[in-house]
Amino acid sequence: MNPDNPDRRAPQKRLFIRSWGCQMNVYDSGRMADVLAPLGYAPTETPEDADMVVLNTCHIREKASEKLFSELGRLRVLKQAKEQGGSRMILAVAGCVAQAEGAEITARAPYVDLVLGPQSYHRLPEMVARISRATGSVIETDFPAEQKFDFLPDSTTPQGVSAFLTIQEGCDKFCSFCVVPYTRGSEFSRSAAAVLKEARHLVAQGAREITLLGQNVNAWHGEGLSGGTWTLDRLLLELAEIPNLARLRYTTSHPRDMDDALIAAHGRIPQLMPFLHLPVQSGSDRMLAAMNRGHKADLYRQIADKLRTARPDIALSSDFIAGHPGESEADHQATLKLIADIGFALAYSFKYSSRPGTPAASAAVQVAEAEKDRRLQEMQALLREQQDAFNRSCIGRRCDVLVTGAGRHEGQIAGRSPWLQPVHGLGSPHLTGQIVSATVTAAMPNSLSVRLEGNEALGPPSQTPRQEKAAA
């Protein structure tokens, strides 16, 4: 065979990545695939077919370590079978559990080849090369001086109609229950130029909706296009100028960083969807202080009022913890009252679970499991009632639906409402990527059924925010 033949390529390697946790982990998994692609790794659907398996872990949820080691035990069998057949499987653990418990992972699972924290993904090619040259595990859980975003290539795999874009990482808040400051490091904001470049790239690949990601995304304060520092409202205004980018969202936010300019942006920018996830965790001032949240319950109420003034159709979502150390029945009742006062379209609620190394883990007064269960059930019953009521309130309402693909049944499309609910209705999958007008005909617990008002797609708003301002 002619060695200069361009069709002569090395055999392709197969990569399997399993992600747990937040959307930022999903984003990170995609970037790991991008950085490994030049080494010949292409995605595969199952670990059985893989030459490299990456477990991208999350430390937020309960029993994260147990879930990891259970999965590693199953993968060990596959890895050994590969070796007996004369081939090799590189086994890597990434993400926040890797950052927090790297030494324990290699001690309990010495067959793991690579342990790397969230700030080291850009070093994957180097680490894979080190593994191929050496025996034993490679651990990379330092916080490097350089920022990984400066070394990651442009994404080669389209995310689809709805895409995610990380603009901020880390956290400086140090909430008593949270490991993020220890696993993701201090707050870092990407520059506006870098964010806009990636956003344009995503749109060129077919994205119509982009969700900006960050541990404290509304704390973003990146370098502006002409120097100086921009805040999130300014970045959103610039993103809204990108042709064919029809929808913008951002998550997850902190009440302390929800300033008036950002609140006003919800009324100024048509592309910014009327849905906001704004975690509060508790409705008790005493517990908010114990959690080191840095705000009071009434501030949250004021923010909700301002948001609804700026954008009357906005829907709110939040996070709640039941049974944080020291929580009394009065504190629990204060949380129920805040839920009743605000009214949420969606919420995530959990029992408190200890995270080693966090202040709450060593608190003297821990709430009994049975009491945490009871409080959580009361909280979830109220939140479910509110979510059902919000979904029912949409019946008969006309709204724009972003079609994301074919539905589960023949002749059906799937999509998203402006309020982030999954939507399904009769229509052609050829509408994927378009925004169509629809009327909500039925509400299920977690989705809406719609009737499309004709098959003509609606484009982005006819005027950009700047054009609107000029016209005024």
- Report d(CA 423, CA 415) in Å as an integer: 5
Residue 326 half-sphere exposure toward CB, CA atoms < 13 A = 17
DSSP state string for 5-74: -TT--PPPEEEEEEE-SSHHHHHHHHHHHHHHGGGTEEE-S-GGG-SEEEEEE-SSSTTHHHHHHHHHHH
Chain mean position to CA 419: 16
Q: Are 292 and 286 in contact (CB under 8 A)?
A: no
Question: Do β-strands 412-416 and 398-406 pair in parallel, antiparallel, or remain unpaired?
Answer: antiparallel
Ligand-binding annotation for 399, yes or no, is: no
Neighbouring CB atoms inside 10 A of 200's CB total: 16
Who's near 437: CB < 8 A, 6+ residues apart?
398, 399, 400, 401, 452, 453, 454, 458
Q: Could you tell me if 54 and 17 are in contact, meaning their C-beta atoms sit under 8 angstroms apart?
A: yes
Residue among 282, 356, 359 nearest 322 (CA): 282
In the chain, the amino acid numbered 144 is: P
User: Cα–Cα distance between 332 and 374 in angstroms, integer?
Assistant: 11
Across the beta sheet with 41-43, the strand order is: 41-43, 13-19, 52-57, 90-95, 114-116, 138-140
394 is in an annotated binding site: no
Looking at residue 154, the DSSP 8-state letter turns out to be P
Query: For the residues of 77-143, what is the DSSP string, one character each?
Result: HHHHHHHHTT---EEEEEEHHHHHHHHHHHHH-TT--EEE-GGGGGGHHHHHHHHHHSSS-EEE-S-
Q: How far is CA 144 from the centre of its chain?
A: 23
The answer to whether the beta carbons of residues 440 and 450 sit under 8 Å apart is yes
Distance (Å, whole) CA 237 – CA 383: 33
178 is in an annotated binding site: yes
For the chain, give the number of residues: 472
Give binding residues for [4Fe-4S] cluster as ranges.
22, 58, 96, 171, 175, 178
Give binding residues as ranges.
22, 58, 96, 171, 175, 178
